[in-house]
Every structure is written in structure tokens, then in C-alpha cells.
Amino acid sequence: EAGVAQSPRYKIIEKRQSVAFWCNPISGHATLYWYQQILGQGPKLLIQFQNNGVVDDSQLPKDRFSAERLKGVDSTLKIQPAKLEDSAVYLCASSLILAGYTGELFFGEGSRLTVL
Amino acid sequence: QQQVKQSPQSLIVQKGGISIINCAYENTAFDYFPWYQQFPGKGPALLIAIRPDVSEKKEGRFTISFNKSAKQFSLHIMDSQPGDSATYFCAPRRTALIFGKGTTLSVSS
């Protein structure tokens, strides 16, 4: 079974530029998450989708970050304009179910963003 | 993320020793208590998880101990191996995983 695919793996941009990250979840996984992991810290949830609807985007900096999940499959996370503090690894994860005692999250390898 | 406090920040253990990582949480609405393991350049991967109606769960060399009244749970790695060297995160869940800051484990041979 193919895992969660993310691209690009690495991106270097100047501050105030824009960047977009793409995620393809595991087939059949209804729930999709974007996490931000700053070096030396744990992942922080940015946004959670259930199919193509947003479940939680309370920690998404909406003045510069946007995300969409068209047709309930692939997702794109965009940052515009980027700031130095956005340098991080952006992790996409997917899971089969939302609630209950199970619901393992499967993570991609991440997209590493460096803002200069 | 302040809802979850993980300790220690780093840990060095001899091969064959026991590694213990602790996690304290505040939100009583958490309903699922996993530990994730992350290797450099990779995304986190589920290691072991426990439900709040169980006090202990063992899978091979890995054990979770859960204390609901104290709002704490811990990961024990028995017979630690160099291949266990990684970063470990507790990540209790309400609707999504809330990660601790991580514990970097180094197992020396």
C-alpha cells in the first residue's frame, strides 16, 4: 500500500515570497491533517479536513496560510507571504476515521521549507 | 501544545537498559493516548497506543503505563537497542493529535 506522498521535499525561498505544498493521502483515508514541525519541537496541527470539509483550522495563521482539499483527496497548503519563522517541516498525515479509540495517523516524510 | 508536557527532553541509555519517557496532560477530553517515533528525515510513526480504560499495554519491548487520575502516561522501552535511537512524542488526541515537544533517545552500544 502506498504511503502519504508529499512534494516538494525541500524548498528554499526568500521572505515575502509564496510557496505551495502538495499532499496525496493514502487511498480511502477520509481525514487529512497538515502539521508544522519547527526544528527541535513536536508537530503542531495547522488544519484538519474530513473529506473536503474543514474540521479544525483554529491554529492556522489565516492571514498568510491557506489550505484546500478539493474533491476530498489531494490537498494543497499555501503560504503567502512567507516569514522567516515559517521555516519548518510541513507534515501531511491521513487517517481512516475521525473519532473513537483507533484512528492511527500515517505521516508523509514532510516538506522542508527554509525562508531566507 | 502547552496542554502536553513531556520529559525528559533527552535521554542516553546503554544497550540493554530501560528507557522511560513521561507525558503529563491537562485536557480530560483526550480519548486516545499514543506514542509516536520519529527518525531523522522521516515523518512520525505510531509506536504504541492505549485507551483510557486500560492502565497498561505491552507490545514486545514497549509498554505504556497510564494513570488517569494523575493525567500522566509513560513509555517504557525494555532491552533498549541502538535501533531505538530516535525522537519519541506523546500525542494524546481529542479530535487531532496534540504532540509533546519530544524526547531524543540515544542508545549507546
Model pLDDT for residues A72-114, shown as the tens digit of each residue: 899 999 999 999 999 999 999 999 865 554 678 999 999 999 9
Model pLDDT for residues A23-67, shown as the tens digit of each residue: 999 998 989 999 999 999 999 999 999 988 999 999 999 999 999
Model pLDDT for residues B69-101, shown as the tens digit of each residue: 999 999 999 999 999 999 999 999 988 899 999
Q: What is the mean pLDDT of residues B59-67?
A: 97
Residue type, A47: I
Of all residues in chain B, what percent carry a pLDDT higher than 70? Answer: 98
Domain enclosing residue B92, as ranges = 4-99
Distance of CA B96 to the CA centre of its chain: 17
Contacts of A53 (CB under 8 A, 6+ apart): none
Q: Is B44 in Cβ contact with A104 (below 8 Å)?
A: no
Give the pLDDT of residue A102: 62
Q: What is the CATH number of the domain that holds B14?
A: 2.60.40.10
Rounded to a whole number of angstroms, the distance from the CA of B30 to the nearest CA of chain A is: 10
Query: Quick one: cell of A32?
Result: 487529512
Q: How far apart are CA A13 and CA A83, in angstroms?
A: 10
Superfamily of domain A5-115: Immunoglobulins (2.60.40.10)
Interface check A25 vs B, CB under 8 A:
no
Mean pLDDT (chain A, rounded): 93
**Domain limits of chain A?**
5-115
Rounded to a whole number of angstroms, the distance from the CA of B58 to the nearest CA of chain A is: 17
Rounded to a whole number of angstroms, the distance from the CA of A15 to the nearest CA of chain B is: 24
Mean pLDDT (chain B, rounded): 94
Contacts of A36 in chain B (CB under 8 A): none
Q: How many domains does one find in chain B?
A: 1
Model pLDDT for residues B7-33, shown as the tens digit of each residue: 999 999 999 999 999 999 998 889 899
In this structure, what is the dihedral angle of CA atoms A4, B41, B109, A41, given to the nearest 10 degrees?
A: -100
Give the pLDDT of residue A19: 98
pLDDT higher than 60, residue B1: no
Nearest CA in chain A to B41: A109
Give the pLDDT of residue A4: 97
